[in-house]
Structure 1
Amino acid sequence: MAIVKLSATERRRLSVFFTCLAVAVVAWIFTTLSDPIPYTIREVLIFKNAPQKRAFHSLQPDTVDVTIKGTGWQMLFSKINNDSKPLTVDLHTLENHNYVVLSSQLKQINAGKEGVSQIISIDPDTLYFDFSNRLVKKVPVELVTGIVYQKQFAISGNITVKPAYVTVSGPVERLKDITSWKTDSLKLTGINETINTRVNLQPSKEGNLNVYPRSVQAIIPVDEFTEKTLEIPVKLLHNNYADVKVFPQKVKITFTTSLSRYPDMDEDLFEATADLDLWRDKGYSTLPVKLIRVPPFCKIVKVEPGNIDFIITK
């Protein structure tokens, strides 16, 4: 393959040529991108001044195609940054109509925009809404959690949610199906102390449903747990005989409880039973022990013995 050898003068001329070509290309790109051109982007709509006495439901998606008159640089940076802000649409005309014409609001929409680019059209230009009677309803908050506690720690009391109820407003038919409102999932790991935090409510997926407030305070008591053992008397059920003796008369239960409640845990808080009908109807020779009352936030580890003997004197 032949190799072209250039003299020093030819190399200088070739370098000047490519330099001029690069400058010309850059100048052409700069000039082209500086010229005003229309371009289209997709924008999300948000609403203000919604009717207070009419529940509404949008009959089209909450995004529109917006044609903007700006420079090529603005178009380029809008694609790169992708930081467009939602368009705010005024719904005050819905008090008397079931539609909103966006072209009639272009002036105020452009006034609220940052930068020099201007919206020249929106597609679709008219938004249509469906209406129904409006109802306000209070429903309890349902706290959604995914909490992993540190070893030997657990929830030690009732969860408190403030406020416990939220106000939901919307169409009558839709609110009939709403009995509670869930929060976002509260996910925490390695917890070893009481949780006191704010949790957002799940946002409404329907434009005609409003929820207030949008967040609640959640208090989850957390404590360290330890084991404790007590002896509990066994109560005999369905005893129709004059003299029945059970052996043993008490069972030993081992359970876990929080350290703060440990001193208060006594046998009066528990109740153990054995059912004599199991012998009479099913022929049991020993009766299984069943705990029918256990304090909240206590976990039974074992019951000894699990079955008791009995003697009936006729």
Structure 2
Amino acid sequence: MAIIKLSAIERRRLSAFATCLVLSVFAWLFTALSSQQKYKVKLLAVFKNSPQKRAFHSLQPDSIYATVQGTGWKMLFSRMNGDDNKISIDLSALENKNYVVLSTQLKQINAKRDIERQVVSIDPDTLYFDLSNRLIKRVPVRLVTALNYQQQFAQSDAINIKPSYVTISGPADVLAKITYWQTDSLILNNLNESFNARVNLHPPAEGNLTVLPKSVTVKIPVDEFTEKTMQIPVKLIHNRNFYDVKIFPQKVKVTFTTSLKDYPDINEDDFEAVADLDQWLQGYRVLTVRLTHMPSYSKIVKIEPMNVDFIVKK
């Protein structure tokens, strides 16, 4: 391949030409980006001043296109940073009609926007809505959690949520599908004490739904747990023919975990251990012991023995 050899003077001239070209391009870009331009952006419609007695459903997508006037720099940086990507639309006109004309709201829309990024026009200019009577419904709150406890600690009582019900209002067909309302995810790690704080409710995805209140108080009792062992009498069940049955042993040793708070109050009345005589009719030679009742939030570590012997006198 041929190699063009340039003299020192030619190389200096070529370098000067390249420098001038680059400077010219930058000067042109600076001038172009500094001038006022109109460009289209996609904005997410956010509704405010919803009608109090009428539920609404938008008949067009939540996104609209707006023609914005501003410098090229504003256009460039707005697209890079994704700022000002929402537009607030006033729905007070829906109290007596089923559409909203956006061109009449340009002044209040631009009042909250950067003066160098003013909205000139909106497409579509008119938004239409399906309207119906607004209904009200109470539904329970469902707490969404991801809890991780420190070793030897655990939940020691029922989680308390206040209020446990929220009021939602909106179209009847939408409310009919809602049976509960979730909170935002509550993520807690290495818990070693009780939790008590306000948790926000998940915001409605539909603009025609209202949820009150916006947050609830959540109390999660947490305590340290330890092991405890007790002798529990075994009760015979399904002795339908009233046989004279003796079981051995008559008590089993149950080892379980319990919170330090409940440790001194737990006694054998909090447990029920049973042996099923139907197992004998099925050919078993020993009866399995199982617990049918035990304190809440306690966990069984072991039962000794797991099976009991028996004698049936007919």
Do the structures match in fold with TM over 0.5? yes
The change in CA–CA distance for 1:30 and 1:285 in structure 2 (over 3 A counts) is closer
Superposed counterparts of 1:191-230, under 5 Å:
191-230=191-230
1:93 aligns to what SS in structure 2?
Answer: helix
Q: Does the 8 Å contact 2:69/2:116 carry over to 1?
A: no
2:110 aligns to what SS in structure 1?
Answer: helix
Structure 1 unmatched runs, 5+: none
1:231-262 CA distance string (max 9 Å, x none): 01112224454743221111111111112211
Superposed counterparts of 1:90-105, under 5 Å:
90-105=90-105
**How many Å apart are 1:51 and its aligned residue?**
0.3
Aligned counterpart in structure 2 of residue 4 of structure 1, from 6, 31, 34: 6
Q: Which residue of 2 aligns with 1:87?
A: 87
Q: Which residue of 2 aligns with 1:234?
A: 234
The change in CA–CA distance for 1:228 and 1:114 in structure 2 (over 3 A counts) is same
Superposed counterparts of 1:233-272, under 5 Å:
233-239=233-239, 240-241=241-242, 243-272=244-273
Q: Distance in 1 between matches of 2:296 and 2:143?
A: 19
1:19-74 CA distance string (max 9 Å, x none): 55554443333222222211111111111111000011111221111101212222
The change in CA–CA distance for 1:16 and 1:174 in structure 2 (over 3 A counts) is closer
Q: Distance in 2 between matches of 1:71 and 1:135?
A: 47
Q: Distance in 2 between matches of 1:36 and 1:226?
A: 72
Q: Which residue of 1 aligns with 2:186?
A: 186
The change in CA–CA distance for 1:21 and 1:152 in structure 2 (over 3 A counts) is same
* TM-score, structure 2 normalization: 0.90
Q: Which residue of 1 aligns with 2:42?
A: 42
**How many Å apart are 1:3 and its aligned residue?**
3.0
Q: Distance in 1 between matches of 2:276 and 2:133?
A: 57
2:219 aligns to what SS in structure 1?
Answer: strand
The change in CA–CA distance for 1:254 and 1:3 in structure 2 (over 3 A counts) is same
Q: Distance in 2 between matches of 1:12 and 1:112?
A: 54
Query: Greater CA deviation, 188-197 or 159-168?
Result: 188-197
2:178 aligns to what SS in structure 1?
Answer: coil
Q: Distance in 1 between matches of 2:291 and 2:31?
A: 86
* TM-score, structure 1 normalization: 0.90
Q: Distance in 2 between matches of 1:196 and 1:311?
A: 54
Query: Greater CA deviation, 30-39 or 156-165?
Result: 30-39
1:119-147 CA distance string (max 9 Å, x none): 11111111111122211111111111111
Query: Greater CA deviation, 17-26 or 31-40?
Result: 17-26
* Partner amino acid, structure 2, of 1:234: V
RMSD (CA atoms): 2.2
Q: Which residue of 2 aligns with 1:152?
A: 152
Q: Distance in 1 between matches of 2:275 and 2:182?
A: 42
Q: Which residue of 1 aligns with 2:61?
A: 61
Q: Distance in 2 between matches of 1:266 and 1:288?
A: 22
* Partner amino acid, structure 2, of 1:252: K
Q: Does the 8 Å contact 2:41/2:67 carry over to 1?
A: yes
Q: Which residue of 1 aligns with 2:26?
A: 26
Poorly superposed stretches of 4+, deviation over 4 Å: 10-23
1:284 aligns to what SS in structure 2?
Answer: coil
Q: Does the 8 Å contact 1:274/1:290 carry over to 2?
A: yes
Identity %, equivalent residues: 60
Structure 2 unmatched runs, 5+: none
**How many Å apart are 1:114 and its aligned residue?**
2.2
* Partner amino acid, structure 1, of 2:260: L
**How many Å apart are 1:18 and its aligned residue?**
5.4
Q: Distance in 1 between matches of 2:217 and 2:187?
A: 15
The change in CA–CA distance for 1:13 and 1:224 in structure 2 (over 3 A counts) is same
